[in-house]
Structures are given as C-alpha cells and as structure tokens.
Amino acid sequence: MDLLGGVSSWRKSTSKWHHFEHRRRQHQCAQTQTEIAKETTAQGNLSNMASSWCRISPIIPIFVWFLLVFSLVCPVHSLETIEDRASNQTFRPNEELKKVKIIAARLSKINKPAVKTIQSPDGDIIDCVVSHLQPAFDHPQLKGQKPLDPPDRPKGHSPSGMLEENVQLWSLSGESCPEGTVPIRRTTEEDMLRASSVRRFGRKPRRHVRRDSSSNGHEHAVGYVSGDQYYGAKASINVWAPRVANQYEFSLSQMWVISGSFGDDLNTIEAGWQVSPELYGDNYPRFFTYWTTDAYQATGCYNLLCSGFVQTNNRIAIGAAISPTSSYNGGQFDISLLVWKDPKHGNWWLEFGSGILVGYWPSFLFTHLQSHASMVQFGGETVNSRPSGFHTSTQMGSGHFAGEGFGKASYFRNLQVVDWDNNLIPLSNLRVLADHPNCYDIQGGINSVWGNYFYYGGPGRNVRCP
C-alpha cells in the first residue's frame, strides 16, 4: 500500500471514527435529501422522495383512508404523489395483503436464526449464523452439507491472510462473529418495500449486458479482455461514496467474470462495491457479490439473498458498508478482489483484501462457467433514469473524469487474470470503453508499480452531457 504514496491514512482508528461521524451526519434523515431536492424537480422524483420519507403501512383496507393518511403525513407532496400513483396503479387491498405475505415468507427464508446479533453504527443489524445454516444450504444440491475447505491459491499470489484493522462499519463496534458462524446483514421489511418489484427483490433488472449505448439506461466505463479462456481475475479498486440522484439508480465499481453469449444463457460472477439506495436504504458504499446463469432473468442474486454463494468467513459481511473511503485530493483507500476457479473441485472462490477468503460459488450453479470464462471486465456502471428528461447527475467512481488522475479520479490497478494452469498473469490485450464518454470516461495505462491500470468515472450530467 505504501507504493501508492497517498494510500495510507485509513489505518488510523481515529480517522475512521471521524469518517464515520461525518458519514453518519450525511446519512441522517436519508435522509434530509437536501442536495437531491435541489437537483431533482420532476414529480416522479418528488413522489419517490415522499414515499421514502413518509413510510406508509402496506396493509390498508380502504383506499380513501390510504389517501387521507398519506395527505396528513405528507401534506407538501400529497397532491403530486396521489396523481402519480393514480396514473400508475390502483390500491387493491387483496393484492396488498398478498404482497405482505410474500414479504413475510421471503424474510423468513433469507434471515436465518442467529447465535449472536451485532448492531452496526450505521444502523445495520448483523446476524451471526451457523455456517451450514446460511441461505446457500437451502439449495437442494447443498442440503445437509457444510462449507468446503479452502483451495490452493493461484500461483504468483502471496496473500498475508490478515485483515487490515476494520474495513467495514459494523466491525467498528468491536464485536465479532464466533468461529463457525458467518456474519449476514439482516434484511428488513423496509428493504423489501423499497424494491421496485417485491418478487425480484435482490436481483438486478432483466437487461442485456453488452456494453453499448442501447443498454437500457445502464451506462459503463470499463476495461476488458476477451478471446481466451480465463479462470479468474484480480484487481485493486479505490472506494468512493458517489452521489446517487434517486432511489432507483445506483453507482457501482466491480469485476465481471463472464461466459456464454449475451443472450439468455449469459453466466456472470461479479464482485465489487456499490451505492444502491434501493437495495440498502442509504448512500454508503457497500461490498457486494452477484451471480446469474440466464442473463439476470430468473437465477442469481446479490450477496446472500438467495441460495447460491457459500460464505466461509466470519469477519466480512457481504452487503455491509465499507469504511473508510477515498477523499478528493486526500487519502486513497482501495480494496483488492480476487476471483478464481479451484482446479480440483471447479468452484469459483472469492478473496477480499490481503488473503481473506470470503467464500465460493459452487460450480453446479452455472452452465458455461462450469468450464471457464470467455471475458473478464473491470470498471464502473451507473443507472441513468433521465430524471426531468435530462441525463442523471448520479456520479460514477469519485464523480470526476479520468484525466484528473491520482487522488481525484477513481482507479483500478494491478489488473491480472488466472490462466488454465492456475497462474496469475498480467493482462496482454486490455481494451477500454466508455459508452457515454461525455458523462463518464476512462483512460488506461501500464507502469512498473501498478501494472495494467485505468482511471475512470465522471459526474454524469454536465454541460457536455445534457
């Protein structure tokens, strides 16, 4: 880390508490949303904010009562919100009751009995769940089993196995999960009620993944390699807290390990950090994972929100907030991620930081990825819902363009892939692509310290990105 010059100060616990206190004040009241209120004027945004500020019980048997209660609680925005809702949906008590039952059933499936519960300073509840009772073991092919032992690391990789102090807010409490358990962020009813679709809670929207301008509101600045067989990938990513303009947009930075066509049979394994108010209810950057075997249609999910990823570590909570974060013209904080295929059993393993094994995706989950990946991508992604008819002001990375460089722009560094013989090797043909370069751009390079790297990101809406 000292090779980066500025990547250092995060180890000081006092700075962490200063950072958390600063973030906590930002988070209060969601939460006052003054910046968003200034930047968004469309009725749709006002209704989104109204619905998030003024939470209404989902079970109300009489439509008139619903309107009355809503107008009393939120008098400023009631007219706009009612008109917006009336144009899009009608309140139906039977359907609302059915929705509540679906939520209750899903929560009972996701949230497992805890042997210990930890209250995170950011409001999360972390449940320490016995390893073989985690959601993955609801899968028919895993029932009755226990997590596997760690595999051999790729050659050329020398992890320390040490977790550098605290890298997630929940661990600032000083509490930890016992050996033999895994920390799982508890999913709440509020989490599910924020979702645009209760049935698809925890899944990405159905969409095509091809990186071009017809990506259904998803915009990218990525580096990628293709044309070979890949058995894993590694990168270090600096962490920021980009501004996200509204609840139904997100900003993320991640690695994609991909196989199959870009049709219905697409397989992906994904890991990185994201800011997603819809999924988490706040604007903290959070460590996340994802997987799909059918192009985001019916399989896969974020984190541990379905049966799939098997967690093996008791110190990292997937979906929990990362702390500290990088600051503009100040200290830089990055995380290292490694995904690789175990040559012996074929499972895809995930490592976080300096050698901390988080867990694995069982090989049987996949079709094409049972063999190998055909493409690896690194970079940023945002959702542009075009509020008010203009490009979103949701930021990617630091919110600054790649040309600003170190300490100001986001970066991926030390990009590597794993070959057929389980060797970590440098990239030989990295290509970079920004599908909306006036909004978010990317610049690649190579040197003796960072190997293959790139800077990327941007502010979204600006004079060149209307």
Q: Which of 249, 278, 351, 381 is catalytic?
A: 381
Determine the Cα angle at 231 with ends 226 and 234, to 5°. Answer: 85
Structure tokens at 167: 């890298």
189 in catalytic set: no
HSE-up (13 A, CA, CB side) for residue 294 = 7
Q: Tell me, what DSSP letter sits at residue 72?
A: H
Which one-letter amino acid corresponds to residue 165? Answer: E
SS3 (DSSP) at 25: helix
Burial class (CB in 10 A: 0-12, 13-18, 19+), 464: exposed
175 in catalytic set: no
20, 172 Cβ separation under 8 angstroms: yes
Task: Give the DSSP H/E element, type plus range, for residue 110.
Answer: helix 93-110
Q: Which residues contact 444 (CB under 8 A, 6 or more apart)?
A: 223, 430, 432, 452, 453, 454
Dihedral angle of Cα 427, 433, 437, 442, to the nearest 10 degrees: 0
HSE-up (13 A, CA, CB side) for residue 18 = 8
Structure tokens at 106: 């899903």
Q: Which of 39, 219, 270, 351 is catalytic?
A: 270
Closest by CA position to 311, among listed 366, 344, 271, 281: 271
Query: CA–CA distance from 153 to each of 156, 161, 354, 362 (Å)?
Result: 9, 12, 12, 17
Catalytic positions, please?
A: 270, 381
